[in-house]
Amino acid sequence: MRRALVTGANRGIGFAIASGLALQGCEVLLGARDLTSGENAARRIGAAALELDVAEPDSINRALEEAGPVDILVNNAGVLGSAPLLEDPQDFEMSMAVMVHGPYQLLHHLVPQMVANGYGRIVNVSSGWGAFSDGVAGPGAYGVAKAALNALTVASARTLPSYVKVNAMCPGWVRTRMGGQGATRSPEEGADTAIWLATLGSEGPTGGFFRDRKPIDW
């Protein structure tokens, strides 16, 4: 049984990804900043909860000590500020901490065991708002952080053996607290590509950017 860690998984897209992986037979570790919220969500899908704030290195270290080896990592946690890019350094720092530094730290700690075990799947939940092909159109620091997450995807995939696959995906506009109720997709629709990438076979892609299971431009 594969062990999967999904960050920011107590609600929204993250919960839908965790639920989908549980249905695929994975042992799921549901990461959440608030442990009570995480435990409530985990019980619904037969998963285990981890208290995990990806913006805090100490929290990452504690969570990974509890988690043990992980076969599948889904970097889903995200934040969306509203301030103009150059007017709010705190928003910029938090965006980079949650969506770049946190994922990097998780890869740093978890990838060596994946390499040793001869298997790993890493999915970075990104956004078209972080794509240069769309003008890095995300508001405030969000687009910059997602663009950096995309770069981390490409660079890390290039350094790893093919049996440890690293890909990014765009879930589209999803009805979550971040996306709003006017969004066009359900969390389950947004999660589908992430679940697919998290369970790729040996011939699956690595170092790519996907939406609806199809490659999209960086």
CB atoms within 10 A of CB 200: 15
The pLDDT tens digits for 82-115 are 889 999 999 999 999 999 999 999 999 999 999 9
Distance from chain centroid for Cα 106: 10
d(CA 176, CA 59): 25
Please name each of the domains of the chain with its CATH number. 3-215 (3.40.50.720)
**pTM, two decimal places:** 0.95
The catalytic residue positions are 142
Label residue 177 by pLDDT band (50, 70, 90).
low
- For 12-64, what is each residue's pLDDT tens digit? 999 999 999 999 999 999 999 999 999 999 999 999 999 999 999 999 999 99
Q: What is the pLDDT of residue 176?
A: 66
pLDDT at 30: 98
Q: What is the mean pLDDT of the chain?
A: 95
DSSP string, 52-113: --TT-HHHHHHHHHHH---SEEEE-------S-GGG-HHHHHHHHIIIIIHHHHHHHHHHHH
Judged against a pLDDT cut of 80, whether residue 173 lies above it is answered with no
